[in-house]
Chains A and B, each alone.
Chain A
């Protein structure tokens, strides 16, 4: 009999007898499903957060902050400097000849979260008149756009879902002034959907402020960035940092992604070790209950390799079932769940947990790894069983 036929026959027998060992086999399946579900869910959180921030901003837009500030909250830019920045040659002009850019006033309002009533910092972004020519990705999905000069707000889809009191028509009191929410917007699932937007001048006057936090501009082309940056940082009147909008937001996700990945790999790693011991247990007991059967096969001429391979295949198969169950659980319970956490600006960023095919593949790799190691040692023991002794054993 060829080696392949032998492997086929032995594996067929071992899998055929699986139902008799349902209890102990389920230990591998459940153990691995747990590991895979935890690893995938935590990484889905990191992926979702990263995705939300990475899809915010575009390569041909730039954000200008005060020198040394790494977030809008810490930054401040004077009115005089706003004009200097917008006048830069690399900034695109609109049909009416004005620069396509927006000086933005970022303030924070404390709103209760829908899920647990906890007060949460939500961003209100006061924007300039060209803000929506600058960000064509923003479109109104309900109600209407705010009117400049009036205390009106539009609310992002993510913020509206996570926080209380943001329905169209409801009122907010900001520093003693009454504001009305007149519309809702979407912007392709990016970080701005966690915010409210209003007219910049009106926000500044309500908060009795005179400083903007940032200036965002549309460049003539993505290649114009270096020249734009040189022009501003070389200007002795300005002390500013210039970043590509995309880089600015991508960098904000770095810290939290790192923490979440750390949690996923450490917690997942420890769980994997636990599941590995469970798998070893199961496979050793599978080998010991089948020791007579294995010895018989050996006695009638089966090689030790097919026996080893059949044990490994059984372990792998169980591990794969576990991986599928674990991925399915993570997918069913968490994929698309909207959650929010503190972003770099000290305000809430709403994002969705995203179970990507890549994560599922990663889960399957983890499962296979546990399955292979969990099967290897018992397989070797099976191959080394002294045939005569095993046959006599009761």
Chain B
């Protein structure tokens, strides 16, 4: 610790160079923080999926509906604790850009399945009682200024009523809190949907199943799929986690693209920081020789140079990550996450130290091998 002022002074020997180096390393960590944060947000959605819940979709494709009659058959499969269902309603509010994630469901079984959705008993009762009732996430309510009692028209791009109208009216009866991935959701009664839709009656989008024992999820999955094998509507049962992951995978390999960009960025950086450190050592050869003359050991000088490199990278990384954390909430509309995950920050710091060691080692070795007499003579 007592050498910190010495290292600090050495770092600022060429002020302009150090500032430029710090800024360019900082931009790399800004990118790292943001890109890695986006991946982290997707991972979090996957991690938030419960291990004891399964989704049952059509084997052909998860966009293909299944008969509602399957519900009682699924419930009777050994190991199934309870089951509920959702359908994809595909709506927007007033303008095509204002997409609302709305789902018709059976409220009693659905909200029992998702205890993480905090709906008050009174609001739940109101939903069950009101045919056109809907409950919505806090974020969604805030976005459009909807309150309990608001009457909300939604336009469905899929479902029509007899007569051809695609406009559906709902009465907001409850606003709930819950994890981020539910904050934009809109749930309403399946019964209303079933009565009013002009086609597709008797079918639902997919089932959600709670298993009694998460360790037996695999067996229960295959038992469900076997039950419907060779029927016109074969099923594909996955854990909620697998289902979410397959959903993201369809977007193409986001991970790969992000990693490729980061690879390019860090390769560039390695070059830049390495160069700065080389230059810094080259210029200071006589000074390092003086340090050795004063009694610093070879290893001591090596550590001094390495410490300088680490300090430089850490300052830069801290700057970049802090900036990323400041900007990140602005991406909320794209990815739905609010804060830069702490894991990303920790990983960033580890990478900064590694970067520093890789780029600092060659000049540090050079400093270690310095021969005092030659160095002082400028040879």
Contact = CB atoms under 8 A, between A and B. Distances in A.
A280 to B, nearest CB: 5
Interface residues of B, number: 54
B251 A341 contact: yes
B250 A38 contact: no
Contact of A69 (B20, B30, B157, B252): B157
B158 A74 contact: yes
A68 B265 contact: no
A171 B300 CA distance: 71
A275 B21 CA distance: 10
B271 interface: yes
A346 B63 contact: yes
B234 to A, nearest CB: 7
A342 B250 contact: yes
B250 A348 contact: yes
B20 A110 contact: no
Contacts of A102: none
A215 interface: no
B31 A271 contact: yes
A7 interface: no
A101 interface: no
Interface stretch (A19-27, A91-99, A216-224): A19-27
Contacts of B157: 68-71, 74
B357 interface: no
A76 interface: yes
Nearest to B198: A76
Contacts of A33: 268
Nearest to A123: B61
A176 B246 contact: no
B52 interface: no
A232 interface: no
Contacts of B272: 27, 30-31, 278, 281
A284 B17 CA distance: 8
A267 B31 contact: yes
Give the one of A74, A274, A285 with max B CB within 10 A: A274
A109 interface: yes
Interface in B20-36: 20-21, 23-25, 27-28, 30-31, 35
A343 B249 CA distance: 13
A183 interface: no
A169 interface: no
A149 B252 CA distance: 35
Contacts of A208: 232
B231 A176 contact: yes
A48 B234 CA distance: 36
A34 B236 contact: no
A321 interface: no
A270 B279 contact: no
A120 B63 contact: no
B275 interface: yes
Contacts of A24: 275, 279
Contacts of A68: 155-157, 166
A274 B166 contact: no
Contacts of A34: 264-265, 267-268
Given A34-B268, A211-B199, A119 B246 contact: yes
Contacts of A275: 24, 268
B23 A277 contact: yes
A120 B250 contact: yes
A108 interface: yes
B90 interface: yes
A345 B259 CA distance: 28
Contacts of A176: 230-232, 234
Nearest to B245: A118
A53 interface: no
B64 A285 contact: no
Interface in B220-255: 230-234, 236, 246, 249-253
Given A67-B166, A109-B60, A284-B17, A271 B27 contact: yes
A239 interface: yes
A9 interface: no
B234 A278 contact: no
Instruction: Give the 9 A-B CB pairs with smallest separation, nearest first.
Output: A274-B27, A277-B24, A341-B252, A118-B249, A108-B61, A34-B268, A274-B24, A277-B20, A74-B157
Given A27-B271, A109-B61, A208-B232, 14 more contacts: A30-B268, A31-B24, A31-B268, A42-B261, A69-B158, A116-B253, A175-B232, A176-B231, A274-B23, A277-B23, A277-B27, A340-B252, A342-B250, A342-B251
Interface of A: 23-24, 26-27, 30-31, 33-34, 37-38, 41-42, 66-71, 73-74, 76, 107-110, 115-116, 118-121, 174-176, 207-208, 211, 239, 267, 270-271, 273-278, 280-281, 284-285, 339-342, 346, 348
28 contacts: A24-B275, A30-B267, A34-B268, A38-B261, A38-B265, A67-B166, A69-B157, A107-B64, A109-B61, A121-B63, A175-B233, A208-B232, A271-B27, A271-B268, A273-B23, A273-B24, A274-B24, A274-B25, A274-B269, A277-B21, A278-B272, A281-B16, A281-B272, A281-B275, A284-B20, A341-B251, A341-B252, A342-B252
